[in-house]
Amino acid sequence: MATLISVRPLARTPRLDLAQLGPNWYAVVMGTAIVGNGAAALPVRVPGLTGFAEVMWALGLAGLLVVGAGRLVHLTRYRAAARAHLLDTPATAVFYGCPPMALISVGLGTLAVGSRVIGTGPAVALDAVLWSAGTLYALTVAAGIPFLMITRHRVSPLEADPTWLLPVVAPLVASAAGPALVPHLPAGTAQQAMLYGCWALFGVGLLATLALLPVVFTGLVHSKLPVLALTPSLFLVLGPLGQSTTALHQLADAARPVTPQLAPAALALAELYGVAVTGVAMLWLAVAVAANLRARRAGMPFAMTWWAYTFPIGTCVTGTAALARHTGFPGFTGLAAGLYVLLVAAWAVAAAGTAAGLAGGRLLGRAQTR
């Protein structure tokens, strides 16, 4: 007698595959932290804004812990993949600029926003640790990734894209966040060392960015973007523009009590530079938006590159907010508020896409038979 055997289809459910967890995932932390930091910097007060900033700071801190733990597993359990990502895959190696920026951004948010939750003393201590670790990391990456490009990576300047900016922007982020720690240091030499060190970080980041921007633009014109999913990376050009503006204003504020003889010149430089560079940033923002709308019509799918919409716009928020604070011009206040609305919308889109991708197994997914 024949026996009928019913066969049930094997169920396949996605399981996180940490072998795929690259340094680009720190962009989630950066993009979340800048939403809280931008809210704290805005020159306008809206009911509920402070509470929203605290929630975003908490999410950024939690994200840093989660991604950091995942990367620790990746670096210890999947050493061959991690080594290949850094040494043999330049498209991945440039994203090593993200971890230091995530550390520094969460640290700044802890002092600017989180101090109301955990207290000033713990906030200063945590910011000092994260800023110090992030700055050392930033300098290592700013020197190390270009070194690898010169000596090991097979790259062509005619194929450059905006992700090449990530390693060299990190020192600019450190220079913008460091001045917040100056008032909490002992008066005298310690404050001066911090202030001058942040000026040096500003110089490192700015000059390296100025050297790379023509290469990036040449690569974009010559080779275009090889895939639609890279189109959001055009927003990365805004990062050094907004961050350098923010840094100069923060440095000018810190100079008043520490180096009063330099404060007037620092403030004048910050205002003149900020106005000029903000104009360039708004022009490039229009280019980037137009290119991304075109890519969406062409079917651009969601990818982790969509987080490039967040942090660069956030730096423009903090830069224009600083201009509004120092110049008193209402146009900069309105621009900062408008950019912040755009930032929150960009974060919501990127966060929703990431959550859906993780749940559906498209991101970090590995089919698991059961």
The pLDDT assigned to 368 comes to 46
User: Where do the H-state alpha helices sit in 224-329?
Assistant: 238-258, 263-297, 311-327
Cα–Cα distance measured from residue 220 to residue 224, given in angstroms and rounded to the nearest whole number: 4
What gap in Å lies between CA 281 and CA 20, rounded to an integer? 33
Candidates 310, 272, 318; CA nearest to 172 is: 318
pLDDT bracket for residue 10 (50, 70, 90): very low
The predicted pLDDT at position 19 comes to 85
Given a cut of 50, whether residue 59 has pLDDT beyond it is yes
Region of poorest pLDDT, from 12-16, 79-83, 93-97, 327-331: 12-16
pLDDT tens track for 276-291: 999 999 999 999 999 9
pLDDT confidence band for 17 (50 / 70 / 90): confident
Residues 6+ apart with CB under 8 A from 303: 229, 232
> Running DSSP on this structure, what letter comes out for residue 17?
-
**Residue 156 three-state SS:** coil
What whole-number distance in Å separates Cα of residue 158 and Cα of residue 166?
Answer: 18
Domains of the chain: 16-353 (1.50.10.150)
Interatomic CA distance for residues 59 and 71, integer angstroms: 18
- 3-state DSSP assignment of residue 6: coil
Q: What pLDDT is stored for residue 99 in this prediction?
A: 97
pLDDT at 12: 53
Distances (CA, A) of 95 to 23, 164, 192, 331: 6, 8, 32, 35
Backbone angles phi, psi at 16, to 5 degrees: -60, 135
CA-based nearest residue to 251, from 278, 274, 276: 274
pTM comes to 0.92
3-class DSSP state of 301: coil
Mean pLDDT of the chain: 93
